[in-house]
Amino acid sequence: MNFLKEKLPNKNRIIFFVLALILFWAKTMLAYYTEFNLGVSGPVQTFILWINPFATSMVLLSLSLYFKDTKKSGYSMLVMYFIISLLLYINVLYYREFADFMTLSTILGNLGLEGGSNVSSGLISSFFVMLRVWDIAYWVDFAFLTWLIRRKVKASETNVIQEKKPFYKRYAVAASLSGLALLFGNLVLAESDRSQLLTRTFDRNYIVKYLGINFYTGYDAYQTVRNNRIRAQADEGDLNEVFEFAKENNAVPNDEYFGLAEGRNVITLVLESGQQFMMDYDLEDEDGNSYEVTPFLNSLYHDDSTISFDNFFHQTGQGKSSDAEVLAENSLFGLPEGSAFHTLGSDNTFHAAPKILGEEKGYTTAAFHGNTGTFWNRTGTYKNLGYDYFFDSQYYDMGEGRTLDYGLKDKLFFHDSVEYIEQLPQPFYSKFLTLTNHFPYPLEEENASIPKANTQDDTVNSYFQTMRYTDEAFEEFFTWLKDSGLYDNSIIVIFGDHYGNSNMRNPYLAPLLGYDADEWGDFENVQMQRVPLMFHIPGYSDGEIKETYGGQVDLLPTLLHLLGVETDSYLFMGQDLLSEENEELVPFRNGNVLTPNYHFIGSHIYDAETGEILDDTLSEEEITELKERADHGRERLTNSDKLLSLDLLRFYQPKALESWEPNTYQYQDQMSDLKNNPKSDTSLISQHGGESTADLYETNAPELDENQEDDMIDPSDDEENLDEENNSDNVENNQEVDRDQNSDTTK
């Protein structure tokens, strides 16, 4: 019998291994539910959340089982357990301060090993402030495990029989393979619930929610190392070719428009999922009644003070709304895969609109968004774009009934933004990211002003209602601009960020546009990529609708020239749409290129007017010449990719930007900062003698009671009033509703 006992495998290792897994899972759950706002909704996401701590921790902890010596095995398990526990706890502390997860760039930056990241420059100094008494719960398990393993190790050293019991490596291999199998299953489940999770990285919260802290850390490290390796290969010499292209690509400003809006405030309204076909569109219901979908935008579109464009296209890729921001504010394209904001935003150098206007013209710069700042890594990116202020969901009341799937309703968003706008020193550059007109276009009956469309697709049907709601929100905001006095000294820029209905849904939309769904094809899909663009300049009377072909990459040089800023020293891939030298080339991220006469779609050349394929009617010489023109358009993509992926702008700073340094704060205490701004006497509220203009704002939003005091939230003043649970449940929880929409995802 004693002989048999001696031959039994040492079961203590398995016991410790299983115990360590359970303890780590328990405290990870504690962090998931009490520290992080992961936005879990539904049984599938809950199940994934509950299993994701096991997969990677099984693989990591199983490494200790390969040691033959009991002592080495026990202590190596402790070391590995300490590492993953420390990793979890560091993220807990970091999340408390920044509502985001730690990145490798952040860690290296704090250690002085990487100079590019400013995401957590105050983390170490504020370490003790972030500690909580209950944090002992994150370490009591480690203390218990240490005591238990040390006790067993000492016992094994005095118990020869116990020490001689073998531990077969097949058990270690089985543990590792089980962990890998669980990880694979975790990945499959995550991909089924959130397609393109890793290729289209929206938010670090998503990766943690689906795959866990350990996987997120490894993935982030891989991305960082890969990007740094690519960056390390670059030098100033790589900039020469791009510099020459940008110089040749530059279109000189038109004297008629240059400086037309010089010195004015810039108010940019990003029309979520806004498509050009909505301009002047009337929706007819089943009874034959007609409804103008966007009456206010239509009036602006045709206004004498507006320069509008009817052949303006979105050029976004997988980064959707974040790509639109890269295009419109940097005159660069998004990346071929994923989001430039998420992949490169925290570390790259940018020559963006807020930075340029801040340095060249002394503008105050601010962004407004009724969703979390971590989505698309906006918080990390905006500092490098040059934004002085960023008001995200933590500055708004995100309570029940005020939000839809992707954030605050537009009427409430504009209404609640007044408190912050009126504090901005003038002149200011501001950007407002709207959300209500976002897939899948849900809207309560009390907020709907027109009926739904009548097609076989519910998403298409709802699109018209949410578009009308946003149109009304814009009108209310414009009314306040006029009543408050901001209107006359501003230029208001309105543009659509990307399509609202994907190619797969366009055939359902076709009958409403007078097309036969059976004859709908690639050419028709390309026409649907048009989005609105308007420059509304109060006091200007020669506005018109321009037929110039252009894309979002052309927006920044156009705007800067209107503001009287020369652009020949910047490396822009776009051209001023008002310039007589504009080439009217519109390259898409997928390689398609449009011109006023020809559309290069896939392998075919189409007549831009009729949609006829011209491959067999053009001569070889004509085809060669046309393809050279298309390739010239694609050069913008190639050079943009070089600038971004190699971070080439770090090697070149125009004279106006030489003294610029990125912000070191985390967009906290912003109201206090605004009130103490040296230029605060130029703000709207100062011009009103210190009286708020909030009472001037009129809205028919049913969520706002007539007698309700709409005191907005500043985290620095009244942090306890923030309903974080509502914020998580009503915003992030619902950000998954688009998983079956193929590529209909944005924010």
Residues 310 and 212 in one domain: no
User: Quick one: which H or E segment has residue 587?
Assistant: strand 586-587
Least-confidence region, from 43-52, 612-621, 663-672 = 663-672
For 41-92, the pLDDT digits (tens) are 789 999 999 999 998 999 999 898 888 777 888 888 999 999 999 999 989 9
Residue with tokens 């170490």: 124
In a domain, 667, yes or no: no
The answer, yes or no, to whether residue 576 has pLDDT greater than 60, is: yes
Residues 112 and 71 in one domain: yes
Residues 518 and 535 in one domain: yes
SS3 654: coil
For 445-454, the pLDDT digits (tens) are 999 999 999 9
In this prediction, residue 127 carries a pLDDT of: 62
The answer, yes or no, to whether residue 192 has pLDDT greater than 80, is: yes
Residues 168 and 256 in one domain: no
Residues 226 and 255 in one domain: no
The answer, yes or no, to whether residue 717 has pLDDT greater than 60, is: no
Give the DSSP letter of residue 309.
E
Confidence of residue 343 (pLDDT cuts 50, 70, 90): confident
Residue 271 and residue 294: Cα distance in Å, rounded?
12
Confidence of residue 567 (pLDDT cuts 50, 70, 90): very high
Using left for φ > 0, alpha for ψ between -120 and 50, and beta otherwise, residue 338 falls in: left
Least-confidence region, from 53-57, 119-123, 246-250 = 119-123
In this prediction, residue 735 carries a pLDDT of: 41
What percent of the chain shows pLDDT beyond 70? 86
In a domain, 265, yes or no: yes
Residues 297 and 195 in one domain: no
475 φ, ψ (degrees, to nearest 5): -65, -45
In this prediction, residue 41 carries a pLDDT of: 78
| Averaged pLDDT, 584-600 | 95
Least-confidence region, from 333-347, 587-601, 632-646 = 333-347
In this prediction, residue 165 carries a pLDDT of: 52
| Residues near 327 by beta carbon (within 8 Å), at least 6 away in sequence | 315, 316, 333, 334, 551, 552, 553, 555, 574
Confidence of residue 375 (pLDDT cuts 50, 70, 90): confident
Confidence of residue 202 (pLDDT cuts 50, 70, 90): low
pTM of the model: 0.75
In this prediction, residue 107 carries a pLDDT of: 67
Measured on CA atoms in the order 221, 224, 230, 231, is the torsion positive or negative? negative
Residues 407 and 553 in one domain: yes
In a domain, 652, yes or no: no
Is 415 annotated as a binding-site member? no
- Bridge-based pairing of strands 403-404 and 533-536 is unpaired
* Nearest by Cα to 100 from 413, 404, 392: 392
| Averaged pLDDT, 714-725 | 43
In a domain, 674, yes or no: no
Residue 666 and residue 383: Cα distance in Å, rounded?
9
CATH code assigned at 481: 3.40.720.10
Which range marks the domain in which residue 637 is found?
239-645+681-736
Confidence of residue 125 (pLDDT cuts 50, 70, 90): very low
The answer, yes or no, to whether residue 736 has pLDDT greater than 70, is: no
| Averaged pLDDT, 256-268 | 98
In a domain, 89, yes or no: yes
Residue 477 and residue 485: Cα distance in Å, rounded?
12
Total structural domains within the chain = 2
Residues 109 and 203 in one domain: yes
- Looking at 214, 232, 250, the residue that finishes a domain is 232
- Looking at 182, 209, 232, the residue that finishes a domain is 232
Is 536 annotated as a binding-site member? no
How distant, in Å, are the alpha carbons of 52, 189, 201, 672, 736 from that of 195? 17, 10, 10, 41, 10
In a domain, 36, yes or no: yes
- The amino acid at residue 78 is L
Confirm if 527 and 485 have CB atoms less than 8 A apart: no
| Averaged pLDDT, 165-189 | 85
Per annotation, catalytic residue among 321, 331, 417, 743: 321
The answer, yes or no, to whether residue 362 has pLDDT greater than 90, is: yes
Instruction: Quickly count: other Cβ atoms within 10 Å of residue 564's Cβ.
Output: 16
Give the DSSP letter of residue 68.
S
The answer, yes or no, to whether residue 711 has pLDDT greater than 60, is: no
Residues 189 and 293 in one domain: no
In this prediction, residue 3 carries a pLDDT of: 38
Confirm if 156 and 99 have CB atoms less than 8 A apart: no
Measured on CA atoms in the order 718, 720, 724, 727, is the torsion positive or negative? negative
For 282-333, the pLDDT digits (tens) are 999 988 999 999 999 999 999 999 999 999 999 998 789 999 999 999 999 9
Confidence of residue 661 (pLDDT cuts 50, 70, 90): confident
Residue with tokens 């609109």: 353
In a domain, 288, yes or no: yes
Residues 566 and 457 in one domain: yes
Residue 420 and residue 665: Cα distance in Å, rounded?
18
In this prediction, residue 102 carries a pLDDT of: 80
Q: What is the mean pLDDT of the chain?
A: 87
Residue burial 99-123, b: 16+ Cβ < 10 Å; e: rest = bbbbbbbbbbbbeeebebbbbbbbb
Least-confidence region, from 128-132, 379-383, 559-563, 740-744 = 740-744
SS3 619: coil
In this prediction, residue 405 carries a pLDDT of: 82
In this prediction, residue 730 carries a pLDDT of: 41
In this prediction, residue 119 carries a pLDDT of: 35
In this prediction, residue 741 carries a pLDDT of: 40
SS3 132: coil
- Looking at 186, 207, 232, the residue that finishes a domain is 232
Measured on CA atoms in the order 372, 374, 378, 383, is the torsion positive or negative? positive
Is 346 among the catalytic positions? no
Confidence of residue 413 (pLDDT cuts 50, 70, 90): very high
Is 351 annotated as a binding-site member? no
Confirm if 117 and 103 have CB atoms less than 8 A apart: yes
| Averaged pLDDT, 353-376 | 95
In this prediction, residue 205 carries a pLDDT of: 80
Is 342 annotated as a binding-site member? no
Residues 319 and 394 in one domain: yes
Give the DSSP letter of residue 611.
-
Residues 345 and 454 in one domain: yes
In a domain, 669, yes or no: no
| Averaged pLDDT, 737-744 | 40
Confirm if 126 and 93 have CB atoms less than 8 A apart: no
Confidence of residue 240 (pLDDT cuts 50, 70, 90): very high
For 475-502, the pLDDT digits (tens) are 999 999 999 999 999 999 999 999 999 8
Residue burial 596-618, b: 16+ Cβ < 10 Å; e: rest = eebbbbeeebbebeebebbeeee
The answer, yes or no, to whether residue 441 has pLDDT greater than 80, is: yes
| Averaged pLDDT, 132-143 | 91
The answer, yes or no, to whether residue 708 has pLDDT greater than 60, is: no
- Bridge-based pairing of strands 550-551 and 312-313 is parallel
| Averaged pLDDT, 422-444 | 96
